[in-house]
Structure 1
Amino acid sequence: MTTIDEPATTTRKHLACDIDELRKLFLFERLSADQLLWLCGRGHVEFIDPGVLYREGDTATDFYVLLDGSLAMYRRVGADDIEVSRTDQVGVYAGAWAAYLGDRVPQVYSQTLRVLEPSRYYVLSAQDFASFMNDWFPMAVHLLEGLFFGQQSSQQVIGQRERLQALGSLSAGLTHELNNPAAAATRATATLRERVAGMRHKLALIADGPYDRAQLAQIIRLQEKAVDAYAATRAAGLTPTAMQVSDLEDALGDWMDDHEIAGGWELAESFVTAGLGTDWLDMVASCVGDEVLEGAVRWLAYTLETESLMSEVEDATTRISALVGAAKQYSQIGRAPDQVLDVHELLDSTLTMLDRKLDGITVVRAYDRDLAPIHVFGAELNQVWTNLIDNAAQAMHGAGTLTITTGRVEDWLEVEIADTGPGIPDAVVGRIFEPFFTTKPVGAGTGLGLDISWRIVVGKHHGDLSVASQPGDTRFRVRLPYSATEGPTA
């Protein structure tokens, strides 16, 4: 990478134009003598010293053809000028080559041209080049227009179709993810209704049973302790193994058999879930009389099961709320198009939306949480993350590791998305950002995902998007500038 700071070349000398020299160029070899005379009359030859001839983004005023010497072409990426080609081939052309399209396209230089050694150029003004093309080659101009605008239109249509396909896939995944907690909440609510009805029945039995005021007060205190124990176990996140659960339930079942509590095996699960064992039930037995022990144990089991069901409803609704929040974050609904955002929120919302596609894949978030927020187009960046993460998931076929790393490199925010898939063949890795290029089977991809990502990162955010790949390690690196002068543009 280099940064070209020197001003445009000022040492330029006009020379005589020779139609015999023009005739030898592949651009002009089939022109008539009159046409060559017109070119020499309207245009001229210039001797140009080394330096920048013109800059990317400047108004395109001239069309240049190299007669001798050498040149290099650069594209602007963030704060750097990236060399894209270098040549000394006589006849290569650059500059206002799109002048014949008129005001239908921006008439600016698409690259920066740097003269590498003292060189001679044939120079024709943009206006004369447009006349040259339209007057002498009208059919060719129509064909070129059709190709240019047709490809542009196709790219937009197919790009929109790819976005709709991605949205459909994400919507299907989101629907599936929402359905699971919704169904869990429905099941838990139905069971909870049964348990509450059972507790009302138990209250009626207690009212008619052999409980005195002191025993009732003791049972209520035990109930609160049981609820507190359940809450503590839940907060600690302790999850016993299946073998441990089985052993605990067996021990509790035996305890209840020993104390002549019928159907104790059905009650054991609630106590195990709360992290309560036989020691705790011994304490219960010491607090209430034998004549009310079974009723007390059943009441406590109902209490714990009710708490567990309410927790299931809470977890399910929290999951639904989180999914809806992720969808809103992902789509940036209700937000300005460009904002100062935490890139980790964008990445996490994308991972949530793609959760179903990541089944079987280990996701590692190697985030630098100290990264400052950055000015970006959130919805567009989420499309970039979607393309890169979805491609990685497809490459790994449901088994592997996806690692997302964030960090700051000088004045750049860097996001690296790495997968352990088979890698991208060396023969095609240089073409993956080309529009319509894809390595997927026919019908499985449009070849625009990475092209769209490139245009969002480089074109809209003035950032950089690159890839490095070998078998078992493919890394896409996105760099976004913190600099206000290099920030996103619509």
Structure 2
Amino acid sequence: MNDDDHDGGTAGDRLDPARLRELFLFESLTEEQLAEISALGRVQHRPSGSTVYVEGDPAECFFVLLAGSVALTRRVRGADVEVTRSDHRGAYAGATQAYAGDRMEQVYPNTMRALTDVSLFALPAQAFATAIRQWFPMAMHLLDGLFVAMRTNQTVIGERERLLALGSLTAGLTHELNNPAAAAVRATAVLRERISGMRQKLGMVADGRLDGAQLRRLVGLQEAAVQRAAKAPKRSALEASDAEDELTDWLDDHAVPEGWEIAPTLVAGGFDADGLAEVAAAVDAADLMPAVRWLAYTVETELLLGEIEDAVGRISGLVGAAKQYSQLDRAPHQTVDVHELLDATLAIFTGKIPAQVRVERDYDRSLPPVAAYAAELNQVWTNLIDNALGAMASTGFDTSPGVLTVRTGRLDDHLSVEIVDTGPGIPAEVRPRIFEPFFTTKPIGEGTGLGLDISYRIVVKKHGGDIRVESGPGRTTFRVLLPLTAG
């Protein structure tokens, strides 16, 4: 570290080997080792309020506190959070992981600030790493094992987290696909029966008792029935019940048996008493029953076709959402519309969103596309939405339904995505730790503690953005910030 780095700190003399031995870190070293450390390091003095080093800067020095008091802070969601403070002589910080070499990025993991005038023994990171490797080979083996195990565990559990999320979403998606598929199968089976019935009723109507003019009028009524079914108004349950009673009475008055059975179909197709009067005027009284039933089959056929079309459309939409969510057929890094990614993720979540939760979309459609790793951003939305749903479900919806709000907007030169829930909030004492690997407030077996850690690394490390949280009782907001210009 340069002598004039950070608020004008100055380098002093070497620290006498005898004084070095007074520090617990060096008390077991040989005279030769103490002399070597003394020759490599320098004493630095920093005034109160000065910054010794900054989180994320290249880790150049290993610092040992000689006198005074310091605080270590971490940058979390755009705010500095104090993680520890010490006035203990011999406390150390800085390039503590220099021994790992190029196996990990050598940057300061936190920021050190002087709370009082302080004196520090500064040892160059490379010298510290060399001393650890040469003088403590057994400790190095242990550190290597711990380092590799930690990285391996984090990788394995991270993959497990992704698989668990994918399995949960897949189960929900399968359920959502099964509903319209089953509806289409059912409608197809009923449609086959109705078409068969139409053929029989047509034979009864046209067995020679109708002349050409009557048959043409009946076919015209059939076409009108198709148009009426397509434009049938949506009725409330009470309105539909009243309309069915009216048609049942009309059918009974005109000697059409079992009118109560076909009245619901005719009402759903937009028929009323005036419409049936037109049918009665088009055929003889003896042919009214088969003619009405023929038209009822026509209406039901149209309704079933509409049901099949709707079911197939839902299946197609879900498959499209799954394709958009997975991004399997696209380049990893691309220019994307964030709203398409959010909609795809919400569509995948359809089967997991409780009936008591209302989803609100508040999109700023004027936002431009951004360069991003789309599939990984979808994982971020998945983690945040899943946490929001879990938070709201934890209340049991005792007092009111839950609301999940997905909002986009612009914040300075960043695109902002907010995931807002109406859950109980995150306790203040927990909030500084939520992005730590393996930290979770869920019961054992229900969470790995890597969801937010993975999200943080995707947003901050991979996209150069930021992720922040604001929380209080009844409202928690996770805000993801993505640069509008590619970095």
* Secondary structure of 1:227's aligned partner: helix
**Matched AA of 2:335:** V
- Cα deviations across residues 127-185 of structure 1 (Å, max 9, x unaligned)? 32122111222222222222222111111111111211111111111111111111111
Partner of 1:280: 275
Partner of 1:404: 406
Output aligned runs, 1:80-95, within 5 Å: 89=87, 91-95=90-94
Output aligned runs, 1:247-266, within 5 Å: 247-266=242-261
* Secondary structure of 1:438's aligned partner: coil
Asked if the contact 2:21–2:28 (Cα under 8 Å) also holds between the matched residues in 1, the reply is yes
**Matched AA of 1:459:** K
* Secondary structure of 1:15's aligned partner: coil
Task: Output the CA distance in 1 between the equivalents of 2:251 and 2:24.
Answer: 99
Partner of 1:170: 169
Partner of 1:488: none
Asked if the contact 2:335–2:372 (Cα under 8 Å) also holds between the matched residues in 1, the reply is yes
Alpha-carbon shift at residue 119 of structure 1 (Å): 6.0
Task: Output the CA distance in 2 between the equivalents of 1:48 and 1:136.
Answer: 30
Task: Output the CA distance in 2 between the equivalents of 1:81 and 1:441.
Answer: 28
Asked if the contact 1:77–1:458 (Cα under 8 Å) also holds between the matched residues in 2, the reply is no
Task: Output the CA distance in 1 between the equivalents of 2:423 and 2:137.
Answer: 50
* Secondary structure of 1:363's aligned partner: strand
Partner of 2:363: 367
Please report the RMSD computed on the Cα atoms of aligned residues, expressed in angstroms.
Answer: 2.9
Worse-matched range after superposition: 281-290 or 400-409? 281-290
* Secondary structure of 2:138's aligned partner: helix
Structure 1 alignment gaps of length 5 or more: 1-5, 486-490
- Cα deviations across residues 310-341 of structure 1 (Å, max 9, x unaligned)? 11111111111111111111111201112222
* Secondary structure of 2:122's aligned partner: strand
TM-score (norm 2): 0.88
Task: Output the CA distance in 2 between the equivalents of 1:409 and 1:29.
Answer: 53
Worse-matched range after superposition: 99-108 or 310-319? 99-108
Partner of 1:100: 99
Worse-matched range after superposition: 301-310 or 274-283? 274-283
Partner of 2:142: 143
* Residue number among 333, 343, 349 corresponding to 1:348 in the alignment: 343
Pair 1:43-2:45 in alignment: no
* Secondary structure of 2:146's aligned partner: helix
Alpha-carbon shift at residue 257 of structure 1 (Å): 1.2
Task: Output the CA distance in 2 between the equivalents of 1:390 and 1:325.
Answer: 21
TM-score (norm 1): 0.87
Alpha-carbon shift at residue 305 of structure 1 (Å): 0.5
Asked if the contact 2:15–2:42 (Cα under 8 Å) also holds between the matched residues in 1, the reply is yes
* Secondary structure of 1:430's aligned partner: helix
Pair 1:441-2:439 in alignment: no
Task: Output the CA distance in 1 between the equivalents of 2:81 and 2:308.
Answer: 59
Alpha-carbon shift at residue 256 of structure 1 (Å): 0.9
**Matched AA of 1:165:** L
Alpha-carbon shift at residue 227 of structure 1 (Å): 1.3
- Seen in structure 2, the aligned counterparts of structure 1 residues 339 and 227 have a Cα distance that, compared at 3 Å, is same
Output aligned runs, 1:456-475, within 5 Å: 456-475=458-477
Output aligned runs, 1:103-142, within 5 Å: 103-110=102-109, 120-142=119-141
Pair 1:384-2:380 in alignment: yes
Alpha-carbon shift at residue 54 of structure 1 (Å): 6.1
- Seen in structure 2, the aligned counterparts of structure 1 residues 449 and 31 have a Cα distance that, compared at 3 Å, is same
Q: Percent identity?
A: 55
Asked if the contact 2:71–2:85 (Cα under 8 Å) also holds between the matched residues in 1, the reply is yes
Partner of 1:3: none
Pair 1:432-2:434 in alignment: yes
* Secondary structure of 1:425's aligned partner: coil
Alpha-carbon shift at residue 8 of structure 1 (Å): 6.5
* Secondary structure of 1:484's aligned partner: coil
Q: How many residues align?
A: 475
Partner of 2:154: 155
Task: Output the CA distance in 2 between the equivalents of 1:227 and 1:373.
Answer: 44
- Seen in structure 2, the aligned counterparts of structure 1 residues 100 and 447 have a Cα distance that, compared at 3 Å, is same
Asked if the contact 2:76–2:432 (Cα under 8 Å) also holds between the matched residues in 1, the reply is no
Alpha-carbon shift at residue 466 of structure 1 (Å): 2.3
